[in-house]
Amino acid sequence: MLSSWLALVVGNTRLHWAYFERGSIAATWHTHHLSKQAVERVDAKSYLQAARLLIDSLVSESKIPSLLQDLTLPIDLWVGSVVPSQTQLWQQVVPNLELVSRSRIPLNDIYPTLGIDRAINLLGANHAFDWPILVIDSGSALTLTAGVSSLDQSKSYDGSVYGGAILPGLGLQLKALGQQTADLGSLLPTISAKVTVERQLPERWARNSEGAIASGIIYSLTSTCIDYIQDWWRAFPSGVVVITGGDGPLLYQYLKQRTPEIASRVLIDDDLAFKGMQAYRRELTT
């Protein structure tokens, strides 16, 4: 087993990368999805060409961690994906990549349609914290995924999926309003800047459309999280709550402004998915 390897988590809108060296995350970065045109330019026999694809087709060299610029050794690529079309493209580029399989994730009670990303996040959370754990992933979708310790000794693993919920994330809600409401589409740049840059709770009872949309989205998302967190702590008073995902820091800031007493007990970890990939790889290679 090579000491250096790459983890790729394929999200709904972006690719999330981590470079592992000597058992630790050495670098992380994010790129947009791979295109069919890029795949056609790659010789699948050469992994180095596939690695260079990151530079040639996804992002500029300046955005690739400097430690990867001179990468010359063969390196394992482990992929967890929720986008089948992207999975197929990457299998064309790197035929021998290691693809995360739901059936091999070391958690009990994984139902057939549970997203790979949700399961990997939960596995990563247990890599860092003890059960019971609630993971709130704020990305394209806002997902809540809970896991608990398995009391049944006949179970294969020490952790089990408890359950969860899915709703549209912040960006997806903004996009939906822009696409489905003719009068509001032109307001989206202003609203997006207000929500993501200012990072201040909007006026609840807004007196203009921009403020009303910001209020509706931010207060509804945070209210949902608060309700689930409180219910989680009623069931598991010492349960861990951890936020992750691209909009995780933003969601945490809004939670902290609305309910500082709840936010004080909530953790934030941008690398849960990568820790989950590491735990998955360890399970299969040791």
- Residue 58, phi then psi, degrees to nearest 5: -105, -50
117, 137, 247, 269: the active-site residue = 117
56: annotated active-site residue: no
Nearest alpha-carbon partner for 53 in 81, 105, 94: 94
On whether the CB atoms of residues 150 and 231 are closer than 8 A, the answer is: no
DSSP string of the chain, one letter each residue: --SEEEEEEE-SSEEEEEEEETTEEEEEEEEEPP-HHHHHTS-TT-HHHHHHHIIIIIS-GGGS-GGGTT--S--EEEEEES-HHHHHHHHHH-TT-EE--GGGSS-BS--TT--HHHHHHHHHHHHHSPSSEEEEEESSEEEEEEEEE---TTSSSSEEEEEEEEEE-HHHHHHHHHHH-TTTGGGHHHHHHIIIII-SPPPSS-SSHHHHHHHHHHHHHHHHHHHHHHHHHHH-TT-EEEEESTTHHHHHHHHHHH-HHHHTTEEE-TTHHHHHHHHHHHHHH-
- In the Cβ-directed half-sphere of 12, how many Cα atoms lie within 13 Å? 16
Nearest alpha-carbon partner for 266 in 244, 246, 236: 244
Strand partners, 20: 5, 25
Q: Which residues are catalytic?
A: 117
